[in-house]
Amino acid sequence: MREKRQTYKRNQIGFLFSLIICVCNLTAQTVIPVATKNNLLLMQTDNSNRLRIIYFGKPLANESEYKAVAANYNYDESNAGIYNSAYTPAGTWNLSEPAIQVKHADGNTSLELKYISHKKEQIDANVAVTSILLKDPVYPFEVTLFYKVWEKENVIEQWTEIKHKEKKPVVLQKYASANLYFANKDFYLTSFQGEYLKEMQPVETKLSQGIRTVDSKLGTRAMLLQTPNFILSFGKSASENEGTVMLGQLAWSSNFKLDFEIDSHKNLRFIAGINPFASEYSLVPNETFKTPSLIYALSNNGTGEASRNLHDWARKYRVLDGQGERLTLLNNWEATYFDFDENKIKALFEDAKDLGVDMFLLDDGWFGNKYPRNNDDAGLGDWQENKKKLPNGLGYLVREAKKEGVKFGIWIEPEMVNPRSELYEKHLDWVIRQPERPEIYYRNQMVLDLSNPEVQDFVFGIVDDLFVKNPELAFIKWDCNAVIYNAYSAYLNKKGVPQSNLYVDYVKGLYKVLQRIRAKYPKVPMMLCSGGGGRADYEFLKYFTEFWPSDDTEPIERIFLQWDYSYFFPSITTDNHVTDWGKQPLKFRVDVASMGKLGFDIVAGELDTNDKIFCKEAINNYNSFKDIVWHGDMFRLVNPHENDISALMYVSKDKSKAIVFNYLVNNRFSITATKRPVVFNGLDANKRYTVKEINLYPGVSSTFSSDKVFTGDFLMKAGFNPNVTLKRTSVVLEVNEVK
């Protein structure tokens, strides 16, 4: 009875928390705050009941002063409309770059949005969602702006929902997720660009009047040439431990557009959303179009703090099993490519066991019979085991791996098809292609039309079939190696849906498949892979536990890549494999791959004795500190872009243990940076610590003893010299509290 009463009480409290605080005010000058612990966004209606952004900055102590903010600014708005609209409509009073542009059912292209109401729903003590309803006074057309905040982490997720009750579909020509406005002097934008094997390269520019656009039009993925991740720094160029910064990302796994516009007042307008390129979306009456989310972390103490908050948020609230464990692995891709059979694979299980990793991952090449997958030009789409290579099927391999004491994972690329495949022969109408034009291939393959529910069933079926037949299958590597050329859907054509829905419906179809997979298989780890450009964002990571940042595994390149990904993603999500790429010694490669989720893609059986001893020892060490790399706080200490060395450190949440990775990134003979210590961060100034070098190659001893005791204060001010030199190019330090 008492228990029942307590449950009732708890429910009551829960109800109170989720009670909606409704603030409806139709008079002018409604002020709507969206606050995190260290940031305040203020919106206010003007005399025409249009919603404007009036403040974005440090929290104001007195709510009663919110209304005084707007009067501080003297903007002349007589010519081009207003710049600080909270969601800029096109076709009426505003001539600035719009957030939304539509063609109504009757062909009219004007849109006005007026404030109607707003509400705040407190989900728990840390999380709240504010929603603001705006309506067109002439057409039955409405937009709701959503702002979800995680107060402690200073993270905001912003999206928009669009709906109408017109007689026929309305064409959404532009439909941004977010429209923000910042009044400040000087804005610096870091965007991340690249190409295959050169992913995620940061470029910082000071924004000047006009629009700087970062976008992509690749169809199947967002990243490769540009990425939807960015750093905005206010007043000065971004730095690690000071200054006001925003780390942001549009969480959409396809074409995106980020517009950073310095207006004539020298303020920054920012509009982020799905790329409107070839994507006029036909929205039927009463259906809600939900845009993807813009997600951003804010800090007044530089990019380091913003990243740590974003990592905490991601692990706790977003990434599938973000607070869980991951499997170390041996992958056969670079060891065998397509050239393997059952016996060769079985022998690799022994190598995996001998190394001490958790799992063996069978890569590309295991399927296709009429068109065997012996190269990348055939077989994709035919997901039956190749009888010649694997006469006893996958089930046999899963069992054999188990006998060796290792788990078994498998590679698939389910969104794609080779023209030389049975799937292509049977279902040409499932392939995205222009019926009247020559086909264009990317890695000899094409993309399946996921706007088609039959294709969604097919893709779900690939994964489902694998798990139904092999319940002990432990891992999926989900690859994506093509972009959409010749965008055209036979399915949409048959349904009478405009072709310009395809880019959006492709992604929505893919998310539907992933939702079905996760409804049936909630936790099994899946890696999101894309040979070129990486494929990772916080919508995808609701369904995936980790991602493959790049095919480039050359370890010096990797130090830069992992550093730059680390602004946005916690290391538990980043898969790093030791391969034979580059000229760095094995130790260097293993150390670099240990800054994330460690894997191997080498012929382990051919390692010489010392290399083998080293790897086994390093895997043991990794198992002892992986919890800190996965779940601790990350501090970027020495930036490889600016120095001869690079250093990065992970600290346990209780500050009792840390791991510091130090590398030489410049091979010139005279290196001054190594003469100086590396200044640590994140420790407890009052605790005492020892510093010990680990991951030493057999027969090599450290240049310093681990007996000395230092205070956290000393290590975080005077620092510690890891003695990185041309002879010691990679040094891993274990920092332990002395109790």
Residues forming the active site: 479, 551
Establish if 574 lies at the interface with ligand DGJ (CB under 6 A): no
Establish if 548 lies at the interface with ligand DGJ (CB under 6 A): yes
Smallest separation, CB 548 to ligand DGJ (Å): 6
Smallest separation, CB 135 to ligand DGJ (Å): 47
Smallest separation, CB 479 to ligand DGJ (Å): 5
Q: Which residues contact 418 (CB under 8 A, 6 or more apart)?
A: 371, 376, 377, 378, 379, 380, 381, 424, 444, 445, 446
Q: For residue 206, what are its two tokens?
A: 């000071």
Q: In the window 550-569, what residues touch ligand DGJ (CB under 6 A)?
A: 551
Smallest separation, CB 322 to ligand DGJ (Å): 23
Distances (CA, A) of 240 to 187, 483, 545, 567, 644: 16, 35, 27, 10, 18
Q: Which of 363, 385, 449, 554 is in the footprint of ligand DGJ by CB under 6 A? A: 363
Establish if 531 lies at the interface with ligand DGJ (CB under 6 A): yes
Closer CB to ligand DGJ, 56 or 383, in the complex: 383
Smallest separation, CB 433 to ligand DGJ (Å): 22
Closer CB to ligand DGJ, 70 or 197, in the complex: 197
Smallest separation, CB 380 to ligand DGJ (Å): 9
At residue 59, the 3 state secondary structure works out as coil
Burial class, 493, CB count within 10 angstroms (exposed 0-12 / middle 13-18 / buried 19+): middle
Q: For residue 446, what are its two tokens?
A: 């094409």
Closer CB to ligand DGJ, 410 or 732, in the complex: 410
Contact 250, 292 (CB under 8 A): yes
The Cα 9–Cα 4 span in angstroms is: 9
The Cα 568–Cα 335 span in angstroms is: 31
Q: Which of 90, 529, 618, 716 is in the footprint of ligand DGJ by CB under 6 A? A: 529
Binding to ligand DGJ by CB under 6 A, coded x per residue (else -) over 425-464, reads: ----------------------------------------
Closer CB to ligand DGJ, 315 or 577, in the complex: 577
Smallest separation, CB 292 to ligand DGJ (Å): 25
Q: In the window 197-256, what residues touch ligand DGJ (CB under 6 A)?
A: none
Residues that bind ligand DGJ (rule: CB under 6 A) add up to a total of 10
Closer CB to ligand DGJ, 363 or 644, in the complex: 363
Stated as kind and residue range, the H or E segment containing 498 is none
Closer CB to ligand DGJ, 221 or 728, in the complex: 221
Q: For residue 99, what are its two tokens?
A: 């957030």
Q: Which residues contact 715 (CB under 8 A, 6 or more apart)?
A: 679, 680, 683, 689, 691, 735
Burial class, 436, CB count within 10 angstroms (exposed 0-12 / middle 13-18 / buried 19+): exposed
Q: In the window 476-495, what residues touch ligand DGJ (CB under 6 A)?
A: 479, 481
Q: Which residues contact 727 (CB under 8 A, 6 or more apart)?
A: none
The Cα 644–Cα 650 span in angstroms is: 21
Q: In the window 684-713, what residues touch ligand DGJ (CB under 6 A)?
A: none
CA atoms lying within 13 Å on the CB side of residue 398:
15
The Cα 711–Cα 687 span in angstroms is: 6
Q: In the window 283-322, what residues touch ligand DGJ (CB under 6 A)?
A: none
Distances (CA, A) of 689 to 12, 609, 661, 718: 47, 34, 17, 14
Establish if 364 lies at the interface with ligand DGJ (CB under 6 A): yes
Q: In the window 390-429, what residues touch ligand DGJ (CB under 6 A)?
A: 411
Binding to ligand DGJ by CB under 6 A, coded x per residue (else -) over 139-178, reads: ----------------------------------------
E strands, 534-644, in order: 546-547, 575-578, 597-600, 633-638
C-alpha 723: how far from chain center: 34
Smallest separation, CB 567 to ligand DGJ (Å): 22
Closer CB to ligand DGJ, 196 or 277, in the complex: 196
The Cα 498–Cα 244 span in angstroms is: 44
Closer CB to ligand DGJ, 397 or 724, in the complex: 397
Closer CB to ligand DGJ, 188 or 581, in the complex: 581
- Give the residue at shortest CB distance from ligand DGJ: 531
Distances (CA, A) of 6 to 1, 11, 12: 9, 8, 10
Q: In the window 320-359, what residues touch ligand DGJ (CB under 6 A)?
A: 333
Closer CB to ligand DGJ, 46 or 364, in the complex: 364
The Cα 61–Cα 65 span in angstroms is: 8
Smallest separation, CB 477 to ligand DGJ (Å): 6
Neighbours of 71 (CB within 10 A): 8
Smallest separation, CB 338 to ligand DGJ (Å): 8
Relative to beta strand 730-737, strand 709-711 is unpaired
Closer CB to ligand DGJ, 113 or 412, in the complex: 412
Q: Which residues contact 386 (CB under 8 A, 6 or more apart)?
A: 365, 366, 367, 368, 369, 372, 373, 379
Q: Which residues contact 548 (CB under 8 A, 6 or more apart)?
A: 477, 527, 528, 529, 530, 534, 535, 575
Establish if 576 lies at the interface with ligand DGJ (CB under 6 A): no
Stated as kind and residue range, the H or E segment containing 520 is helix 502-520
The Cα 254–Cα 278 span in angstroms is: 13
Closer CB to ligand DGJ, 270 or 333, in the complex: 333
Smallest separation, CB 333 to ligand DGJ (Å): 5
At residue 199, the 3 state secondary structure works out as coil
Closer CB to ligand DGJ, 479 or 564, in the complex: 479
* Alpha helix (H) residue ranges in 594-631: 609-631
Smallest separation, CB 340 to ligand DGJ (Å): 13
Task: Give a three-class secondary structure readout of 376-443.
Answer: CCCCCCCCCECCCCCCCHHHHHHHHHHHHCCEEEEEECCCEECCCCHHHHHCHHHECCCCCCCCCCEC
CA atoms lying within 13 Å on the CB side of residue 458:
21
Task: Give the phi and the psi of residue 621 in degrees, each rounded to 5.
Answer: -60, -45
Smallest separation, CB 470 to ligand DGJ (Å): 19
Question: Where on the chain is the footprint of ligand DGJ (CB under 6 A)?
Answer: 333, 363-364, 411, 479, 481, 529, 531, 548, 551
